Amino acid sequence: MAAEPVTGLILSGGGARAAYQVGVLAGIADLLPQGAANPFPVIVGTSAGAINAVTLASGALHFAEAIRRLTGFWQGFRSHQVLRSDWPGVVRQASRFVGHSLLGLGHQVPVALLDSSPLRGLLSEHLDLSGIGHAIEQRHLRAVAVTAFGYESGQAVTFYQGRGAIDPWLRHRRIGLPTRLSIDHLLASSAIPLLFAPVKLGHDYYGDGAVRQSAPISPALHLGANRILVVGVSGNPRGPADTMPHARVYSGQPPSLAQIGGHLLNSTFIDSLEDDLELLQRLNHLSHLVPPQDHPQRLGLAPVEVLVVAPSQPLDEIAARHRRELPPALRMFLRGPGATKTSGAGVLSYLLFEAGYCSELIELGRRDALAKRSQLCSFLGLSDPA
């Protein structure tokens, strides 16, 4: 007998790129009947996706209203709400980083190029985490989880809050721990290495959950999901011709620090998710090849239905168009490494917490979701309003 469908939502990391996820969710809300319940019993987020995940879970009793609040939250963004972008703040943090981390001077401080302390106040003001418990009690939510990386343990730790029947798990370099989620968990999960300071949880310091997260889809499956909607933030679609080295146009210039950093960030936030999706697709194919007498459940090969919504336009190009929205101090700080140039806009696409850029990503996400209207309606068991 087939298991009852339990839909999981995976919101990957990516700094300011996570605004795209809000647009996709807004598009899904448009497809739902008025007053519809939360369609995602399991919600998993990493990095900035963790903030979106927990916000959504906190408002699971009123899904459409939660999406409206989340949309307003991102559309009103300014850099100073997330990090110190004034001249004294930028200069002070850069001096601390160079003095302590590179020269070994002064008191020990967490390693970070940017001061993200304003983010704590912003989240404390806008989030009411008590809504998670209410949603779980009324069975509008099975579980919500955020993943962070322990610098000393070397493990990707998924902190989850859900119904009591969900057992913790232990796998190679990844574990699941039941807890009552807090603002600290969100700050830890979204602390991009070197850019934002790690956050102490218990005895260990934690950073962005995308680091060493070899199986991003796994937490949702552990929490009971058997079909998955993934909202990605890769945002660098290219045509088939561009994958061929001879078809590309090369500048002949050595890569800037921002170009290198952009590739490192993409490797952290995007590659592992895409690899995990490819592996899951292979396992699904394998499960269909198993003879009928060897039921997939007994072999641990039960197929998992997966739908992916990802940006249809390159997010780094969108970021490059909005680079002048950055505050002057932050723009000057990022100019040296080349992040304000088109070639280095990959880094900028993660750090551009400004209304114009975030609003364009939200609109792109909404359009991409509605472009997959039929697939989403089929996946969520909705009648297609078109």
Catalytic (active site) residue 208: yes
CB 313, CB 20: distance < 8 Å: no
Check whether 112 has a pLDDT greater than 80. yes
Check whether 220 has a pLDDT greater than 90. yes
Q: How confident is the model at residue 289 (pLDDT cuts 50, 70, 90)?
A: low
The model's pTM is 0.88
In a domain, 101, yes or no: yes
- How far apart, in Å, are the Cα atoms of 217 and each of 51, 136, 144? 17, 21, 13
**pLDDT confidence of residue 1:** 44
Task: Identify the domain containing residue 142 by its residue range.
Answer: 7-237+256-380
**pLDDT confidence of residue 382:** 85
How far apart are alpha carbons 315 and 236 in whole angstroms?
A: 6
In a domain, 269, yes or no: yes
In a domain, 56, yes or no: yes
**Helix and strand counts by DSSP (H, E) for the chain:** 17, 10
Per-residue tokens: 166: 């969900």
Among candidate residues 12, 47, 116, 272, the one labeled active-site is 47
Residue 230: strand pairing partners: 10, 308
pLDDT tens digit sequence for 291-312: 655 555 544 557 788 899 999 9
pLDDT tens digit sequence for 46-68: 999 999 999 999 999 999 999 99
Higher pLDDT, 197 or 211: 197
Strands 227-231 and 7-11: parallel
In a domain, 311, yes or no: yes
Provide the CA 223 distance to its chain's centre, in angstroms. 18
Least confidently predicted of 42-56, 243-257, 267-281, 350-364: 243-257
Phi, psi of 208 (to 5 degrees): -50, 130
pLDDT tens digit sequence for 138-166: 999 999 999 999 999 999 999 999 988 89
Least confidently predicted of 111-120, 356-365, 376-385: 376-385
In a domain, 133, yes or no: yes
pLDDT tens digit sequence for 303-349: 788 899 999 999 989 998 998 998 888 888 888 777 777 777 888 88
- Lookup result for tokens 């968990």: 185
In a domain, 386, yes or no: no
Strands 174-178 and 204-208: unpaired
In a domain, 131, yes or no: yes
Among candidate residues 115, 204, 208, 276, the one labeled active-site is 208
CB 309, CB 228: distance < 8 Å: no
In a domain, 243, yes or no: no
CATH for 195: 3.40.1090
**pLDDT confidence of residue 241:** 46
Could you give the number of structural domains in the chain?
1
Provide mean pLDDT across the span 100-111: 70
**pLDDT confidence of residue 265:** 73
Check whether 27 has a pLDDT greater than 70. yes
